[in-house]
Amino acid sequence: MANRLLSRRFRKDACVGDLPCNGFSNQIALILEFVSRGLGFTVIPHHARAAFAQQGKIEVVESGSPVVDTLWFIYRAEWPLPARCARALRYLEKRLKG
């Protein structure tokens, strides 16, 4: 997501891999803590940003049109879809269409 977002704001071949990396966190609850201390930047979903308790310590840069991904629900065709999965699929279809 960061590569797609950076290419909209900078040159088309902009890549996160070109930036220096001195640390790493894959815990979404901690990512904005590091950002709030000035230790980097992140590209995260809106709901993750909204859940951060110290909103005044981060700056959000709007990028224009949002980066949108297609959701795929994939399962093995020869296996029956469990009832719990069918229920989840119906729920998602209803929520995403409305």
From residue 63, alpha-carbon distances to 9, 42, 43, 81, 84 in Å are 7, 13, 11, 39, 38
pLDDT for 11: 72
Enter the pTM of the model. 0.59
**Count of other CB atoms within 10 angstroms of residue 32:** 21
Residues of the chain where predicted confidence (pLDDT) is lower than 70: 98
- What is the distance between the alpha carbons of residues 30 and 69, in angstroms, rounded to a whole number? 24
Closest to 52 measured CA to CA, from 73, 31, 81, 78: 31
pLDDT for 91: 93
pLDDT for 98: 64
Q: Residue 7: how many CA atoms within 13 Å on its side-chain side?
A: 9
pLDDT for 24: 80
